[in-house]
Structure 1
Amino acid sequence: MADLSDRLIAELVDAVRAQLRREIVERLRDVYLIGDIEKDTARQAIERLRDLANDNNRPITLYINSAGGNVTDGLAIHDAVRHIVSRGIEVTIIVQGMAYSMGSIVLQAASDGRRLAFPHSWIMIHEPAKWAGWQSTTAAAQHLERLKQMQDQIYKILSVRSGKPLRQIIKDTKRTDFYLDAQNALEYGLIDAVVAGELPAPKPSVVELREVSSEPAPQTQVPAMAPAAKAPVDS
């Protein structure tokens, strides 16, 4: 009888802890993109982003730790984030570990100034043909037109967000997988800041009246971040 009682108490404690974790995640408005980018992870991320955006206009934070994955699924997440940003909702994207291949493209969807990375994170970009999932040149040739369109889309995203000319992006991604640590990614223009302390405070936003609380707003400390810098562009 005592064993049954102990087990029930343990199960109740686990259930309460799980509920508290869910409530904390909801309150923090965080989204996690962990692992390969494919249909299920994209669906889960997009649904979570959509639910948060429809709930209120407070900022959203997306954490990435991904080696990449499917091109179309990655672009679907990118477009979902850009749509939310276009509605005036600030979206911060933080690399916590790695953002390789398609993960680096999702990263570019963040609001202006909100592409962040922790100091020991890595980012990798490469030629879009390597992301398509085709295992032979014959298969790739059968989808040549689609591949060209994907390349143009990816190169444009990287060029616009990094400030690098298209020819520079193409040159750097065609030669090999192009790896950058957080500081080099900052200098290249793929992120806006390296997070060295607390996260930057979000910009002030209009909050729905039903969310206004009588409690005083928490004080936000100014974070220590590496200064933005631009690498010289080859002519």
Structure 2
Amino acid sequence: MALVVAAAALAPPGAQARSCRASRLSAPVAMRSTPKVPYKFPGMDEATWISIYSRMYRERILLLSQDIDDDFANQMIATLLYLESEDSKSPAAMYFNVGGGVMKAGLAVHDTMRMMPYEFQTVNMGMCAQVAAFLVAAGTKGKRFALPNARFRMENPTIEPMYDNEGKPRTRIMQATEMRLEVAEVLRDKRRVLEGFSSATGRSAEQLEQDFKRDFYLDANEALQYGLVDRLLLPGAKREGAEKGEISPGVGIG
């Protein structure tokens, strides 16, 4: 899993460290599943292998690379809360390449981000769809970025399907009254998302509702003009478009 909970990342590995000492100069067997890098924990004499995602976390860098469901959202929230207790002032950088997710789970992450006292740098690395696009736009104003080939897809929330024990979606059988309540709840989520996008982009909820009637795709430059991001991350040498006002000059995350 891309995001590793803080407690697992920070605890000195003890016996695990001693068992890894013999292999610290060569790639561990676990490298086949999750990349690992050597890291020397504070107070330890020797380095040990830890998940590369845990190492990124220690620099307050979070990579979101899977659909945002309830479990992943809970891990995300736990990590953001831990970052606050560890350092409530330094910004956190969130890198996204997410095809979508559960709207209510994303809203929970969004509300947690708003509650944190530190700033958020958000970066769309590839595709950010649905609630992932919403979270990128929710970053601190002036610190929302996209790579040149990044894409955004905005869409209306839908009634979430139910799944069987094997994880396969199955038909939901509901009474008419229950269906009406489900639709009302989806429309409520839609209003919350439109209000959030309106605050992030400066566009009216009416215009956003018109745009979101169908799946709405934006490339990086279009997202910049639309107000979803503030700058494009470009190599420093490629500034011709920036000088013409077409794109923003390359910037770094720091």
TM-score (norm 1): 0.72
- 1:21 deviates by 3.7
2:248 to 203, 227, 231: 227
CA distance in 2, matches of 1:115, 1:123: 13
- Kindly provide the amino acid, as one letter, of the partner of residue 226 in structure 1: I
**Which residue of 2 is the match for residue 126 of structure 1?**
155
1:34-59: CA deviations, max 9, x gaps? Answer: 11110121112111222112111211
CA distance in 2, matches of 1:162, 1:22: 31
CA distance in 2, matches of 1:16, 1:69: 30
Whether the 8 Å CA contact 2:198–2:204 is kept in 1: the answer is: yes
Larger RCO (CA under 8 A, 6+ residues apart): 1
CA distance in 2, matches of 1:169, 1:23: 38
**Which residue of 1 is the match for residue 67 of structure 2?**
36
**Which residue of 2 is the match for residue 99 of structure 1?**
128
- Kindly provide the amino acid, as one letter, of the partner of residue 156 in structure 1: E
**Which residue of 1 is the match for residue 80 of structure 2?**
49
The answer as to 2:115 corresponding to 1:83 is: yes
Question: Aligned pair count?
Answer: 190
CA distance in 2, matches of 1:171, 1:46: 32
**Which residue of 2 is the match for residue 64 of structure 1?**
96
1:1-35: CA deviations, max 9, x gaps? Answer: xxxxxx99447742763338467424421112111
Residue identity over aligned pairs, in percent, reads 26
The answer as to 2:213 corresponding to 1:181 is: no
Whether the 8 Å CA contact 2:53–2:63 is kept in 1: the answer is: no
- 1:83 deviates by 1.0
**Which residue of 2 is the match for residue 171 of structure 1?**
210
- 1:148 deviates by 2.1
TM-score (norm 2): 0.67
- 1:166 deviates by 1.2
- Secondary structure in 2 aligned to 1:112? coil
Gaps of 5+ in 1: 1-6, 199-224, 229-235
- 1:72 deviates by 0.7
- 1:193 deviates by 1.0
- Secondary structure in 1 aligned to 2:135? helix
Whether the 8 Å CA contact 1:31–1:48 is kept in 2: the answer is: no
CA distance in 2, matches of 1:45, 1:170: 29
- 1:91 deviates by 0.8
* More helix per residue: 1
Whether the 8 Å CA contact 2:37–2:55 is kept in 1: the answer is: no
- Kindly provide the amino acid, as one letter, of the partner of residue 182 in structure 1: A
CA distance in 2, matches of 1:182, 1:102: 17
